[in-house]
Amino acid sequence: MSGLGGLNKAPDGVVIGLVQIQNPVVVTRDDLARQADRICSLVAKARRNMATMDLVVFPEYALHGLSMDTNPEIMCRLDGPEVERFRGACIANDIWGCFSLMELNPHGNPFNSGLIIDNKGEIQLYYRKLHPWVPVEPWEPGDLGIPVCNGPNGSKIALIICHDGMFPEMAREAAYKGANIMLRTAGYTAPIRQSWHFTNQSNAFCNLMYTASVCLAGSDGTFNSMGEGMIVNYDGTPLATGNGIPDEIITAEVRPRLCDEARLNWGVENNIYQFGHRGYVAVKGGARDCPYTYMHDLVAARYTVPWEKQVKVVDGTSCGFEAPKRSYKPVPSTVPQKTLAAE
């Protein structure tokens, strides 16, 4: 049940609104300012649309569009005017919001970042996309892990971005850190539609976790993004599914308490627990080892697939980007801490 899209809200419910915002064209600082204002106007629309709504979610590229433009003039900072507008919109409309921005990085390519801002205007979660959609996207690989924050009505929320959701390890990490709702924002276009649907469902079921996912919608004159807002129950059943209509807001109520109860009470298919307790019927507490070669190799920085030397696409040259010359090296965070809510 989705509470008729959240119209009938339970005392322990969290009503989520997914905004299939029109795919924008942003080239200049003025364009960026107009689009930030437009996003804020849709925050207000979401509040008018449903008085019970707790969290409004905007897709990846809602602010910058799909151009992949890395021009520093239109990159954002956490303490910049665009984020300040978003914070003000959450306060003015007494609602939590999830927002996307391409973030200036003085040490390399920009980050593809996401924020969750509470109804008091405080940044509760700050995430940088771990898996840019190669070879299409030029963004720096994220360096903040997968954070989880406390949200409305007993929710614990994680945010991943677009291509991140194609890696089951991402959803597993979010759930392992306690998330009972995982947001997935995206700019995907139609060829990814089927994969989008079944990964949103499998990420939910395999981790007993609600997933709420949304793409841009409409055309920017070059790319058509697909909309397809989707809220999925922790058993993998879709609660609400969207369409391709720009600016449509897809809503549903989720109940984190029920997700938490399933994690405690389920025996069959309690996969998030059973993954680390193999065969507990046969051996006390189950096997607690790590039998996965790829995990050991990843930790040891020697992850190599058997067909490694035959892989054809290993940089962004096919999409017009120069082959990089520097190796990955995390740098000290330059996050202005005063913008972040106290933990």
Q: Tell me: the pLDDT tens digits for 64-92?
A: 999 999 999 999 999 999 999 999 999 99
First to last CA, the chain: 33
| Mean pLDDT rounded to a whole number for the chain | 95
Catalytic residues: 60, 129, 162
The model's pLDDT over 237-287, given as tens digits with 9 standing for 90+, comes to 999 999 999 999 999 999 999 999 999 999 999 999 999 999 999 999 999
The stretch 205-223 carries a mean pLDDT of 97
Under the banding of pLDDT at 50, 70 and 90, the label for residue 188 is: very high
Residue 50, pLDDT > 50, answer: yes
Angle, vertex CA 83, rays to CA 78 and CA 89, nearest 5: 150
User: How many secondary structure helices (H) and strands (E) does the chain include?
Assistant: 8, 14
The model's pLDDT over 117-127, given as tens digits with 9 standing for 90+, comes to 999 999 999 99
Residues 6+ apart with CB under 8 A from 176: 272
The model's pLDDT over 98-148, given as tens digits with 9 standing for 90+, comes to 999 999 999 999 999 999 999 999 999 999 999 999 999 999 999 999 999
How far apart, in whole angstroms, are the C-alpha atoms of residue 20 and residue 186?
Answer: 10
- Helix pair angle (81-92, 29-49), 10° resolution: 10
What is the pLDDT, as a whole number, of residue 334? 55
The stretch 216-227 carries a mean pLDDT of 95
How far apart, in whole angstroms, are the C-alpha atoms of residue 240 and residue 171?
Answer: 20
Q: Determine if the pTM surpasses 0.85.
A: yes
Token pair of 91, please? 């306060």
Under the banding of pLDDT at 50, 70 and 90, the label for residue 330 is: confident
Q: Please, which residues bridge with residue 89 across strands?
A: none
Amino acid at 207: N
What is the pLDDT, as a whole number, of residue 333? 59
Under the banding of pLDDT at 50, 70 and 90, the label for residue 343 is: very low
How far apart, in whole angstroms, are the C-alpha atoms of residue 88 and residue 118?
Answer: 10
How far is CA 269 from each of CA 202, 203, 208, 234, 265, rounded to the nearest angstrom? 12, 13, 9, 11, 11
Closest CA to 158 of 142, 166, 170, 167: 170
Under the banding of pLDDT at 50, 70 and 90, the label for residue 342 is: very low
Element (H, E) at 30: helix 29-49
How far is CA 234 from each of CA 60, 197, 272, rounded to the nearest angstrom? 23, 14, 12
6 CA to centre of own chain: 21
- 3-301+312-339: what fold? Nitrilase/N-carbamoyl-D-aminoacid amidohydrolase (3.60.110)
Query: From start to end of the chain, where are the E strands?
Result: 14-20, 55-57, 96-103, 111-117, 123-128, 148-150, 156-161, 181-186, 210-215, 217-219, 224-226, 230-232, 238-241, 248-254
Residue 310, pLDDT > 70, answer: yes
